Amino acid sequence: MDALDQIFKAYDIRGRVDTGELTEEVARSVGVGFAGIIDESTVAVGRDCRTSSPRLAAAFIDGLLAAGKDVLDVGEVSTDVIYFVAGARGTAGAMITASHNPPSYNGIKLCRSGAVPVGEESGLADVKAIVRAGAPTLGTSSGSVAAEDVRVAYADHLFSIVDPSAIQPLTVALDGGNGMAGAVLPQILDRLPLTTLDLYLEPDGTFPNHPANPIDPSNLVEVQALVIDGGADLGVAFDGDADRAFFIDDRGVPLSGSTTTALIARWFLGRHPGASIVHNLITSKAVPEAISAAGGTPVRTRVGHSFIKAVMAETDAVFGGEHSGHYYFRDNFRADSGLLAMLVLLQVLGEDGRPLNELRRDVEPYAQSGEINLDVVDKEAAMERVVVNFPDAKIDRLDGVTIDLGDRWCNLRPSNTEPVLRLNVEAADRVGVDALVAEVRGVVGVGA
């Protein structure tokens, strides 16, 4: 694997800046390459608060300008702001961010107009080929740069989807993780009757308090304590670029991505009867069951935002959710937004009236393992051993392999970048989950 293969991922570009994986020269070449694959005349460019982001953004913009593209520089924002600009104004979009990765990393997320994602199969491989061939140096910049603060416009957009008058005066504990949520939240919170208990809302690209990676339970401990100590109705933790959000109930217990997906899906179905709702195949069986019970049509997809967004477009789905805390909204150009997911959940709470610890019980009939990484050298061979071990199971190969035993199921997916299988298990109770996890581990050859 060469240096470019290391940083060009399935959905974005990401690598270490301290070891020279992602340099300003590479960022400039990516700007030239991206300009070469798009028809849009203008690219909206945002960046996160990492110390390397200003210089990488400047280099990327230089590449765009040299290739003749105009640039709308929106400054330090959350990634969903870029999706909004690309959707509302018909620009292409680029976000300089490494999301939840440590401070030594950075990256570039790309989209076309309409917030259509650019991934490996939809243009990113072409950008890599241009960079690999040596992006042309090009001469004097022929594009122009305009700077604009679009955060108020983004807040206006969010409140065209969620009614602020329907949100009750709740107490909410917020953990920004020193990421980009804190750059956008003030324009949103100013319009809501909330009491907030704030943790780490100041953007700081060194992430001095804890990693901005709320999928790791250890990074939720402080906001869980704040919910309990402050008597909050809801806790919210954002990842580094705020396109994901994780939620904590009023007793300090985190919600899974499946629970949040089911709750938000029911809310949308109350407004769009019979609509389609997309969920990836890792979410709990409770998700399609809740969608069907609410009169909707569940649509199952592979894991990953490019698949989710494409299927949402095909089915005109009003909402889509993933186990990983990504939530997608038709009226948000099918883009994911942790901030919008928070607003919808606040409206759900206000309209239902029950505390979240009670409300969640409607959609949590099963126990789940969460995602478990299994270190495996030959991933395909390991998956086939598991299939053979369950000869009477229903086998599905939509994404990795899903083994359905009726009262319990598991999915094994190979990582694109590591010698790892990702295991997810669901059963009627914790005993069943633990037993199936142990059996799969044994077959794969990985101990507890």
pLDDT tens digits along 16-52: 999 999 999 999 999 999 999 999 999 999 999 999 9
Query: What count of other Cβ atoms lies within 10 Å of the Cβ of residue 187?
Result: 17
For residue 256, what is the DSSP state?
P
pLDDT number for residue 223 = 98
**Alpha-carbon 270 to chain mean position:** 25
Catalytic residue among 99, 256, 276, 284: 99
| Tokens 């990516």 found at | 30
Residues in the chain: 448
Q: pLDDT tens digits for 354-379? A: 999 999 999 999 999 999 999 998 99
Q: pLDDT tens digits for 188-231? A: 999 999 999 999 999 999 999 999 999 999 999 999 999 999 99
Mean pLDDT computed over every residue of the chain: 95
Question: Is 1's pLDDT higher than 60?
Answer: no
Sign of the torsion angle spanned by Cα atoms 253, 255, 256, 258:
positive
3-class state of residue 405 by DSSP: coil
Distances from the Cα of 57 to the Cα of 127, 178, 184, 263, angstroms: 17, 20, 19, 38
Phi, psi of 59 (to 5 degrees): -65, -45
pLDDT number for residue 331 = 97
Q: Which domains are present in the chain?
A: 3-149 (3.40.120.10), 151-365 (3.40.120.10), 367-444 (3.30.310.50)
3-class state of residue 98 by DSSP: coil
Distance, CA of 228 to CA of 371 (rounded, Å): 26
pLDDT number for residue 447 = 64
Q: pLDDT tens digits for 48-69? A: 999 999 999 999 999 999 999 9
Distance, CA of 434 to CA of 439 (rounded, Å): 9
Q: Span 170-178, mean pLDDT?
A: 98
Q: Span 5-12, mean pLDDT?
A: 92
Q: pLDDT tens digits for 79-105? A: 999 999 999 999 999 999 999 999 999
pLDDT number for residue 141 = 66
Distance, CA of 424 to CA of 402 (rounded, Å): 9
pLDDT number for residue 142 = 81
Q: pLDDT tens digits for 227-242? A: 999 999 999 999 999 9
pLDDT number for residue 305 = 85
**Alpha-carbon 395 to chain mean position:** 28
Distance, CA of 362 to CA of 134 (rounded, Å): 56
Question: Is 133's pLDDT higher than 60?
Answer: yes
Distance, CA of 331 to CA of 299 (rounded, Å): 18
Question: Is 417's pLDDT higher than 80?
Answer: no
258 classed as catalytic: no
Sign of the torsion angle spanned by Cα atoms 361, 364, 366, 367:
negative
Phi, psi of 295 (to 5 degrees): 90, 10
Distance, CA of 196 to CA of 190 (rounded, Å): 11
pLDDT number for residue 302 = 93
Q: Span 238-256, mean pLDDT?
A: 97
pLDDT number for residue 138 = 67
Distance, CA of 409 to CA of 395 (rounded, Å): 10
Distances from the Cα of 403 to the Cα of 21, 438, 448, angstroms: 38, 15, 20
HSE on the CB side for 300, CA within 13 Å? 15
pLDDT number for residue 448 = 58
Q: pLDDT tens digits for 259-311? A: 999 999 999 999 999 999 999 999 999 999 999 999 999 999 999 888 899 99
**Alpha-carbon 247 to chain mean position:** 14
Q: What is the pTM of this model?
A: 0.94
Question: Is 135's pLDDT higher than 70?
Answer: no
